Amino acid sequence: MIVCSCNMITSQDVAEAVSALRTEDPLVVLTPGLIYRQLGKRPSCGSCLPLITELMVAYDQGGPSSSAPFPHRPPVENT
Ligand code: FES
């Protein structure tokens, strides 16, 4: 599915960017700008940013529609 018509970015591109960024640095703070940079693109109109943010979070959490493998994330300690 195309999620950015200005740059022809697909949902699979977002999943692969999230996976690559997590592989490079498991503790990286993901942002839509980082996803664009990973894909070698720049936002134009910006209307896709909410959808890319939503997909980025879903893929990072390994949601049901996620097709990319994700490394284990450190557990959050309870206080
Ligand atoms: S739709 Fe993504 S920058 Fe325009």
pLDDT in tens, 48-57: 999 999 999 9
Q: What is the DSSP string of 30-64?
A: --HHHHHHHHT---SS-TTHHHHHHHHHHHHTT-T
pLDDT in tens, 27-78: 999 999 999 999 999 999 999 999 999 999 999 987 435 554 444 444 556 6
The rounded Å distance from CA 59 to ligand 1 centre is: 19
* pTM (predicted TM-score): 0.77
- Ligand 1, residue 43: give the atom nearest the CA: 3
Q: Environment class of residue 52 by beta-carbon count within 10 Å: exposed (0-12), middle (13-18) or buried (19+)?
A: buried
The rounded Å distance from CA 39 to ligand 1 centre is: 13
Tell me how crowded residue 75 is: count the other CB atoms within 10 A of its CB.
6
- Ligand 1, residue 45: give the atom nearest the CA: 4
The rounded Å distance from CA 56 to ligand 1 centre is: 15
